[in-house]
Structure 1
Amino acid sequence: MFFPIFLLSGAGFTVLTTEFLIVGLLPGLARDLGISVSQAGLLVTLFAFTVAAAGPLLTMVMSKTRRKTIFVGTLVLLGFANLLAAFAPNVGVMAVARFVPALALPVYWSLASATAVDIVGPEKAGKAISVITFGIICATVFGIPIGTLIADAYGWRSAFGVVAAVSFLKALMLQFFFPQLAARTSDASLRSQLIILRDPVMLGHVLLSVLVFTGMFTAYTYLADVLERLAGFSGQLVGWTLMAFGVVGLVGNHLGARIVDRSPLQASLLFCGMIAVAMLALSASIHTHAALALVLGIWGMAQAALFMVSHVRVMKAAPQAAAFAASLNISGANLGIGLGAILGGSVIDHLGIANLGYAGASVMGLSLVLTAILLGSRQPRPTLCTN
């Protein structure tokens, strides 16, 4: 029963690697395209904000299309986009190569999540989505470092070329092994999906995702810089530390899957609290390796768990339009990623990098307040009707 979900997770690994691979390639890419690193960094912002802006509408429009067609088509589209990036002669073409997959990513993740729940049933929603989000975590743990190693050895264009080849391979795997699920005649209409935007509780859940991801990425975006400048780590040690940060996230994903179906909001309280405590302790632990390892371990587990918990939480807030709700969560998350990077950069420029953890913890504190408010509001039925 879970085999199709594992296929979606494996394909999702490639989808998320396409989004985040560029982070490790920025210096070389900027040199070759004749732009500054900060200008190249705008390609990351372009991707995140495109996902945030276009995701819900595209997911709503595509919700009645056969799922297999969407999944295979997404991987093919990503393959061509990565090929275009590999041969991009200038930043304008590269921007197009980043814009196109950003349109496909939220549709894939929203409908993959809804399909996973549809396959196993709503009572196992957390477990199913944890398998899907496993692909996200593996992309950050293995996809980005491997891509960076390929770029170091053969150039950044080769890294995009490899991801393109893997995208086409995953498309073939889905074509031959993923079941042909018919378009659901019970899918919600466009109007009924849009109605959930009138629910203040639903909007509160989306706002909570924005706050959660803003808080996480206020500090996480610059974690490598923190480790180099404050902890004195070498570049190689930073790389291994970031990989370890991702590995402990596998534990967090498993832990979140075990408790999220009982109460997504209580799970949010737990993991937001863990991150807030870890960020508050970051500066104090920076010069003691054992303490820093503990802080980063807590942070890494909680952050990975919140990827999945936030997804389940928003989907269960609108069971009549779960895929559309999932796309709203993805948009909120990407908006938070972009805002967190901007906020973190501002803190570094005006208050100093040592205050980055405190800024992130402050935003996580706002997340805890909103979570408590939502816990006191009316709760939706925990039944998911995927669309």
Structure 2
Amino acid sequence: MLFPILLLSAAGFTVLTTEFVIVGLLPGIARDLQVSIPQAGLLVTLFAFTVACFGPFLTAYCARFERKRLFIGILLLFALANALAAVAPNIGVMGLARLIPALGLPVFWALASETAVDIVGPEFAGRAISKIGFGIVCATVFGIPVGTMIADGFGWRAAFWLLALLSLVKALLLWLYLPVTPVKFDQRSLRQQFGILRSPLLQGHVLLSILVFCGMFTVYTYLADILERLAGFDGALVGWCLMGFGAVGLIGNSLGGRAVDRHPLLASMLFCGVMVVGMVALVPSLHSPVALAVAMTLWGITQAALFLVSHVRLMKVAPQAPAFAASLNIAGANLGIGLGAIVGGRIIDSLGLAKLGFAAAGFIVLAIALAMLLMRRGTAVLSVE
């Protein structure tokens, strides 16, 4: 039963790459559609805010549908959206092309792990979920930088055509090889899940995710532009830098998995503290290959770790409804991503690209303060021995 799990992971790779590939394409999109970089950055905000606003509710509604048909439908939706992005004549059509897949992404991620466990059985749940999560890591390591390299060689539209093709191929593979699993839907259970929203502890942890991801994407949204305009790198070199950034994320994924099991809030504080150093050091290091490599390594490791830490942290704080808590983390993270793109665009317009790292660090420092407050008030999640 391993092959269907790997197919879901591969589908997840395409889903997540569709969201984040635009980070490496922003300079080309802005030039071609004749808008500014901050205006193009609003495409990131649109996608993220759509996920944040509709994700938990769409996930709850779609939980009643048979998983195989649901996942195939989502991938076909992604194929349509990426094809539309590839032919978009203006920023308005491009915005529509980004809105469509944002409706499907949270549904896929919230239900794919559950489906993987249904396929292999609860005794192999951990292995199944880890394989699904590997698609996230691969999207960062390969999807985003390879998309940037394709855009450099053939234009940014080619990257979206390739994503459209991959979406169709993976929809076909899921149709052929993904088994049909029983639908587990209980309206009463659904009401109980929404009841956890009243918990101040849960609200604090969602706010923590918002701050963390806002800090990340205040600068990460415009990383390709920083490397092009401030460091003078061409598109191919930018792609290799993004690949290195993602590759060290494999280390962060491993470290984050170990740390979050010991103490979720301490892990958040530790990785946030190190990430501030990498973000602030980025621009001063641009003209020193060694210093730049160190700064991007620190940032890349901690960013990947915080993706995992934030996800598990919310699930641990609501053990009675872990899947719904995970969907709330997805919503909070994407709200932070959207806010970060807006803030970063405003900083570029008012203070310039070079100041993005300091603005991002401000949000991360607030996140550290919030984590300390949660611990001080005795609301921290207990460490798991």
TM-score (norm 1): 0.86
- AA matched with 2:47: F
Tell me the residue number matched to 1:175. Answer: 175
Change in CA separation of 1:123 and 1:58 when aligned onto 2, cut-off 3 Å? same
- AA matched with 2:11: A
Q: CA deviation at 1:150?
A: 3.6
Tell me the residue number matched to 2:14. Answer: 14
Indicate the SS of the match to 2:21. Answer: helix
Tell me the residue number matched to 1:374. Answer: 374
* 1:250-289 equivalent positions in 2, closer than 5 A: 250-289=250-289
Change in CA separation of 1:267 and 1:343 when aligned onto 2, cut-off 3 Å? same
- AA matched with 1:10: A
Conservation of the 8 A alpha-carbon contact between 1:315 and 1:323: yes
CA deviations over 1:53-72 (Å, ceiling 9, x no partner): 11111111122333333222
Conservation of the 8 A alpha-carbon contact between 2:263 and 2:382: no
The answer to whether structure 1 residue 293 and structure 2 residue 293 are counterparts is yes
Tell me the residue number matched to 2:238. Answer: 238
The answer to whether structure 1 residue 99 and structure 2 residue 85 are counterparts is no
CA distance in 1 between counterparts of 2:379 and 2:286 reads 42
Q: CA deviation at 1:122?
A: 9.4
Change in CA separation of 1:62 and 1:277 when aligned onto 2, cut-off 3 Å? same
Q: CA deviation at 1:214?
A: 0.8
CA deviations over 1:137-162 (Å, ceiling 9, x no partner): 32233223333444444444443222
Indicate the SS of the match to 1:319. Answer: coil
- AA matched with 2:342: I
Tell me the residue number matched to 2:328. Answer: 328
Q: Which runs of 5+ in 2 are unaligned?
A: none
CA distance in 2 between counterparts of 1:261 and 1:140 reads 23
Tell me the residue number matched to 1:200. Answer: 200
CA distance in 2 between counterparts of 1:16 and 1:224 reads 18
CA distance in 2 between counterparts of 1:97 and 1:337 reads 18
Tell me the residue number matched to 2:309. Answer: 309
Q: CA deviation at 1:120?
A: 6.7
Q: CA deviation at 1:52?
A: 1.2
Q: CA deviation at 1:184?
A: 2.0
Change in CA separation of 1:315 and 1:188 when aligned onto 2, cut-off 3 Å? farther
Change in CA separation of 1:292 and 1:89 when aligned onto 2, cut-off 3 Å? closer
The answer to whether structure 1 residue 56 and structure 2 residue 56 are counterparts is yes
Change in CA separation of 1:298 and 1:145 when aligned onto 2, cut-off 3 Å? closer
CA distance in 1 between counterparts of 2:281 and 2:86 reads 41
Q: CA deviation at 1:312?
A: 1.2
Conservation of the 8 A alpha-carbon contact between 2:21 and 2:147: yes
CA distance in 2 between counterparts of 1:47 and 1:194 reads 24
Tell me the residue number matched to 1:138. Answer: 138
- AA matched with 1:244: G
Tell me the residue number matched to 2:190. Answer: 190
CA distance in 2 between counterparts of 1:30 and 1:172 reads 33
CA distance in 1 between counterparts of 2:275 and 2:105 reads 27
The answer to whether structure 1 residue 226 and structure 2 residue 226 are counterparts is yes
Higher alpha-carbon deviation: 351-360 or 165-174: 351-360
* 1:108-123 equivalent positions in 2, closer than 5 A: 108-116=108-116, 121=122
Task: Report the count of equivalent residues.
Answer: 382
Q: CA deviation at 1:14?
A: 0.5
* 1:29-44 equivalent positions in 2, closer than 5 A: 29=29, 38-44=38-44
Conservation of the 8 A alpha-carbon contact between 1:130 and 1:308: no
- AA matched with 1:136: I
Q: Which runs of 5+ in 1 are unaligned?
A: none
Indicate the SS of the match to 1:320. Answer: coil
The answer to whether structure 1 residue 361 and structure 2 residue 323 are counterparts is no
Q: CA deviation at 1:362?
A: 2.1
Indicate the SS of the match to 1:189. Answer: helix
Indicate the SS of the match to 1:260. Answer: helix
Q: CA deviation at 1:33?
A: 5.1
Conservation of the 8 A alpha-carbon contact between 2:145 and 2:242: no
Change in CA separation of 1:38 and 1:265 when aligned onto 2, cut-off 3 Å? closer
Cα RMSD between the aligned structures?
A: 3.0
Conservation of the 8 A alpha-carbon contact between 1:130 and 1:254: no
CA deviations over 1:120-148 (Å, ceiling 9, x no partner): 759975x6555333322322332233334
Conservation of the 8 A alpha-carbon contact between 1:316 and 1:382: no
